[in-house]
Amino acid sequence: MASNPPHGRVWNFSAGPSVLPLSVLEEVQRDLLNYKGTGMSVMEMSHRSKTYGEIISGAEATLRRVLDIPSNYSVLFMQGGGTGEFAASYLNLFASRGVREKQRKLGRQLSCDYLVTGTWSKGGLKEVQRLGGRPNVVFDGAATAGDGAAAYTGVPPVADWRLGKPEETAFVYYCENETIHGVELPLNTVVDAVDPSVPVICDMSSNMLSRPIDIGRFGAIIAGAQKNMGPAGVTLVIVRKDLLERDDDNGEAVRGLPSVLDWCYFDRAGSMPHTPPTFSIYVCGLVFKWAEEQGIRVLERRRAERAKLVYDEIDAHPEFFRGRVDRAYRSSMNLVFNLPTPELEAQFIAEAADANMVQLKGHRSLGGIRVSLYNAMPLEGAEAFVALMRGFYKRHHQ
């Protein structure tokens, strides 16, 4: 059996909150009581202090370097989680000058295109419906497969997408990696298909920082921190600055847009119009430094190596390890499969726990097994999991 992680820890395959780099946790531990000689913890210091100002500005600067974020994009640390940004994306885009001018020219409400590839993109769609928007479902993977929530297994050909007319569309929204269903779109699939005049809004909560991305092709990117970037409580927004411009009728534009979701409000105040989630942002900054030290190309290579180990074992015994997702859309972050019976799945999870591997039970809506391989999971963790798979197969395959 492969070795256990150090310091009496477990191999944590949680889909989120997820494993953090060990060196980051150790630095947090060293600074927890007395941050850099200030005599206080980051959790205790004023967000208006010079010390904390350096923490949050440093976090942003590091992220800009890691992802090569263009200067015409704002980086915002928003409170809450990615779900809040479902509403924020819609409300902010429809408050922007460009979208409002486009809508006035059309003479009626613009629609917004939604690609539904699983639970989280469907959640974004439902939020817009609740807010009175006019969503156009470009495709629904479940409807394509015809089997409800468990049927999200891939994406139809681009030729079959029902994108709205550019002059009638405010934005296109999609989730690049579905943590529950294990569906991940190949890089640039959506931006290559959408007219450049239409902003693309992407939820990258669960694969942010795992590979290089061309930020300049997106209108906005949202990402909850608790997968690849830090602890829960903060959400990253990277938004093109022209989408933050408001027209002269600003009061009308922001009616119905709460301050806590207003990207302009946060942008003007450097992400601190009021007390931010200070500790979560501090940890994110350390993770960004760690990612910079590793190198984004190295993180991309490791992501592929970890996923290949597990998928090779699934593919070697497909009658036993039953993958759900079409190969072209299998996630490198959240790998999902079933065993022949629920009883075997329960036994697999129990044996994994005995081997110091936890958080492998599939989402409650799907069951099965889900192994999440985020940036901070060492290759040794994936190797340990594959060793468990091989041993379990030998003992239980008939």
Look at residues 23, 22, 194, 211 and name the one whose alpha carbon lies nearest to residue 112: 194
Question: What are 302's two structure tokens?
Answer: 């490791």
- Helix, strand or coil, per DSSP, at residue 278: helix
- Helix, strand or coil, per DSSP, at residue 361: strand
Q: Which numeric CATH code is attached to 296-396?
A: 3.90.1150.10
Question: What are 237's two structure tokens?
Answer: 């927004």
Please give, one letter per residue, the 3-state secondary structure of 114-152.
Answer: EEECCHHHHHHHHHHHHCCCCEEEEEEHHHHHCCHHHHC
Which single residue is written with the structure tokens 């097994």? 369
Q: Where are the beta strands (DSSP E) in the chain?
A: 11-12, 73-79, 111-116, 135-140, 169-175, 177-178, 183-184, 200-203, 220-224, 234-240, 322-323, 334-338, 357-358, 369-372
- The residues annotated with a catalytic role in the active site are 120, 203, 227
Q: Which numeric CATH code is attached to 50-292?
A: 3.40.640.10
- Please report, for the chain, the start and end positions of each structural domain, with discontinuous segments joined by +: 50-292, 296-396
Residue pair 48/193 in contact by the 8 Å Cβ criterion: no
Quote the pLDDT of residue 149.
Answer: 43
Give the C-alpha distances (Å, rounded to integers) separating 293 from 44, 277, 286, 288, 290: 28, 25, 11, 9, 5
Look at residues 283, 266, 289, 268 and name the one whose alpha carbon lies nearest to residue 79: 266
Query: What totals of helices (H) and strands (E) does the chain contain, helices first?
Result: 13, 14
Q: Is 210 exposed, middle or buried (0-12, 13-18, 19+ CB in 10 A)?
A: buried
- Helix, strand or coil, per DSSP, at residue 354: helix
> 237-270 as b/e, with b when 16 or more CB fall inside 10 Å?
bbbbeebbebeeeeeebbeebeeebbbbbbbeeb
According to DSSP, residue 378 is labeled: -
Pairwise CA distance, residues 90 & 238, whole Å = 15
Residue pair 139/115 in contact by the 8 Å Cβ criterion: yes
Q: Tell me, yes or no, if the two domains 50-292 and 296-396 fold the same way.
A: no
Pairwise CA distance, residues 267 & 241, whole Å = 9
> In this structure, which long-range contacts are made by residues 274-278, counting pairs with CB atoms below 8 Å and at least 24 apart in sequence?
275/47, 276/47, 276/56, 276/77, 276/79, 276/234, 277/77, 277/79, 277/233, 277/234, 278/42, 278/43, 278/45, 278/47, 278/52, 278/55
Quote the pLDDT of residue 148.
Answer: 45
Pairwise CA distance, residues 217 & 17, whole Å = 29
Quote the pLDDT of residue 376.
Answer: 96
Q: What residues have CB less than 8 Å from 35, skipping those under 6 apart?
A: 41, 42, 45, 51
Quote the pLDDT of residue 243.
Answer: 97
Residue pair 209/296 in contact by the 8 Å Cβ criterion: yes
| Average pLDDT, consecutive stretches of 10 residues, N- to C-terminus, the chain (398 residues) | 74 95 96 96 95 97 98 95 90 94 95 95 93 94 57 91 97 96 95 97 96 97 95 96 84 80 95 95 98 98 98 97 94 96 96 96 87 96 97 90
Pairwise CA distance, residues 63 & 74, whole Å = 12
- Helix, strand or coil, per DSSP, at residue 111: strand
Pairwise CA distance, residues 61 & 77, whole Å = 13
Strand partners, 128: none
Helices (H), 131-227: 141-145, 189-193
Which single residue is written with the structure tokens 């990402």? 223
Pairwise CA distance, residues 255 & 268, whole Å = 18
